[in-house]
């Protein structure tokens, strides 16, 4: 089946007893054994639960992987994956990185002797130059958050395999609807499923998909041992959200492209970072390896003084963290999502005090542009007034 049909049908035939087309929510933590030495396949819900299993099987199919694992958050999913590594191990990581991932690596895993070097993962020479005897994996965000840098997944995964490294891809921003990294050679895919997969800003979840059985067995052991599992209620919410993923992603990208194009010509905007724009340096590569674009982009203002009044004057768009929901959200990465990254690193990458990140929702695009327009104009007038007063 095409992916749209697969999404709509998640869990629709999971209950053979009643024929329910919505997957039941099994709150049980314990399950009866038929007799000594026999199991129904469910023993204790931390190891496996019926509702979570429907979700895990679905994401494995959608990502063309061997097995899926549902975690209590995107960060919990990363913690499970990072638990594959040991003291002295080293990772190569996308330089433009979500702040929470940087925090986990630098403030938690570093205490256990796991180190990371941040590089442009689309630069094979840079990857080679930073390779160490203890390097075990490369972690790729593509597009990156928040600057939308694109990595050639097939090229880098091929290079990683030639060096006997695991390739781990964060596919949160595109989802399997637009991009399937395992088909391009990745070993592990992770998602902050709270974002586009859930889609309604009402569930906290993370997902992992593994390429082959040996890796699936390792992740299954860690998932169960750490206990970072998703509960049945949240598993059901995520399944329900994923059923409309195709419709939502199409609307997200349509709105984002229209608004990014409008902002690119606005006199107060210095630069727009969106791979759907032909001016983006990764435009051709994105078209080659993905079937569409995300609904999030960042833009840099010409004057940092505009940031505060813009965030104060937006009305339809909410000044809030997170992304990927049906509601439009705007955030200020320098002091919110990327606050844990040291300022000198942020500025070197380009996450400075003029950058805003916009998660475009599914509202009518004309209303969103109107809201942005009035907020930008109000900010312009305030800044101009302050300048005149001085």
pLDDT surpasses 80 at 343: no
CATH architecture type of domain 3-31+40-242: 3-Layer(aba) Sandwich (3.40)
Rounded mean pLDDT, 270-293: 97
Selected catalytic residue, list 195, 211, 248, 346 = 195
Percentages of the chain per state (helix, strand, coil), in multiples of 5: 40, 15, 45
What token pair was written down for 211?
């390429």
Q: Where are the domains of the chain?
A: 3-31+40-242, 245-380
Q: What is the pLDDT of residues 77-114, one digit of tens each?
A: 999 999 999 999 999 999 988 889 999 999 999 999 99
Rounded mean pLDDT, 362-367: 98
Selected catalytic residue, list 52, 98, 234, 332 = 98
| Predicted pLDDT at 390 | 58
SS (H, E, C) 34-48: CCCCCCCCCCECCCC
Cα gap 339→332, rounded to integer Å:
9
Rounded mean pLDDT, 301-312: 97
- Which region, left, alpha or beta, applies to residue 201 given φ > 0 means left and ψ of -120 to 50 means alpha? left
Rounded mean pLDDT, 149-160: 98
89 is catalytic: no
| Predicted pLDDT at 344 | 72
Q: Cis (ω within 30 of 0) for the bond into 146?
A: yes
| Predicted pLDDT at 358 | 98
Give the side-chain half-sphere CA count within 13 A for 39: 9
Residues above pLDDT 70, as percent of the chain:
98
CATH domain 245-380 topology: 3.90.1150
pLDDT surpasses 70 at 337: no
Q: What is the pLDDT of residues 206-250, one digit of tens each?
A: 999 999 999 999 999 999 999 999 999 999 999 999 999 999 999
**Greater pLDDT, 337 or 366:** 366
302 is catalytic: no
Cα gap 341→348, rounded to integer Å:
11
Q: Is 40 exposed, middle or buried (0-12, 13-18, 19+ CB in 10 A)?
A: exposed
What token pair was written down for 10?
């998640």
| Predicted pLDDT at 349 | 77
pLDDT surpasses 70 at 306: yes
Write the DSSP assignment of 216-268 as a string of letters: HHHHHHHHHHHT-BPPHHHHHHHHHHHTTHHHHHHHHHHHHHHHHHHHHT-TT
User: Nearest 5°: phi and psi at 56?
Assistant: -65, -40
The mean pLDDT of the chain is 95
46 is catalytic: yes
98 is catalytic: yes
Selected catalytic residue, list 170, 187, 234, 371 = 170
Residue 203: CB partners within 8 Å, gap ≥ 6? Answer: 193, 194, 234, 237, 238, 241
Cα gap 273→280, rounded to integer Å:
7
76 confidence band (pLDDT: 50, 70, 90): very high
Rounded mean pLDDT, 58-64: 98
How, if at all, do strands 135-141 and 166-170 pair?
Answer: parallel
């Amino acid at each position: 089946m095409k992916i749209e049909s697969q999404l709509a049908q998640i869990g629709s035939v999971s209950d053979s007893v009643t024929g329910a087309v919505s997957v039941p929510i099994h709150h049980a933590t314990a399950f009866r054994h038929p007799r000594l030495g026999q199991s129904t396949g469910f023993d204790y819900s931390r190891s496996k639960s019926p509702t979570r299993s429907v979700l895990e099987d679905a994401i494995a199919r959608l990502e063309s992987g061997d097995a899926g694992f549902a975690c209590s958050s995107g960060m919990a999913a990363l913690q499970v994956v990072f638990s594959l590594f040991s003291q002295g191990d080293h990772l190569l990581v996308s330089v433009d990185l979500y702040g929470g991932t940087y925090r986990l690596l630098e403030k938690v895993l570093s205490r256990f002797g796991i180190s990371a070097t941040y590089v442009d993962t689309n630069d094979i020479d840079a990857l080679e130059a930073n390779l160490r005897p203890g390097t075990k994996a490369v972690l790729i965000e593509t597009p990156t958050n928040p600057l939308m840098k694109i990595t050639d997944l097939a090229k880098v995964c091929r290079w990683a395999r030639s060096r006997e490294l695991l390739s781990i891809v964060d596919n949160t921003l595109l989802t399997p609807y637009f991009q399937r990294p395992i088909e391009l050679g990745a070993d592990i895919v992770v998602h902050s499923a709270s974002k586009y997969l859930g889609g309604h800003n009402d569930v906290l979840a993370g997902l992992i998909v593994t390429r082959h059985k040996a890796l699936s067995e390792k992740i299954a052991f860690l998932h169960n041992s750490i206990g970072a599992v998703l509960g049945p209620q949240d598993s059901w919410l995520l399944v329900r959200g994923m059923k409309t993923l195709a419709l939502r992603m199409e609307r997200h990208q349509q709105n984002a492209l229209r608004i990014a194009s409008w902002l690119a010509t606005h006199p107060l905007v210095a630069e727009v970072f969106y791979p759907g724009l032909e001016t983006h340096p990764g435009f051709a590569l994105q078209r080659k390896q993905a079937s569409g674009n995300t609904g999030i982009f960042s833009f840099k203002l010409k004057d940092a003084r505009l940031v505060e009044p813009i965030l104060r004057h937006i009305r339809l768009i909410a000044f809030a963290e997170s992304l990927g929901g049906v509601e439009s959200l705007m955030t200020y990465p320098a002091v919110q999502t990327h606050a844990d990254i040291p300022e000198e690193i942020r500025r070197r990458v380009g996450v400075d005090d003029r950058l805003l990140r916009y998660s475009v929702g599914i509202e009518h695009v004309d209303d969103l542009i109107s809201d942005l327009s009035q907020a930008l104009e109000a900010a312009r007038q305030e800044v101009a007034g302050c300048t005149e007063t001085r």
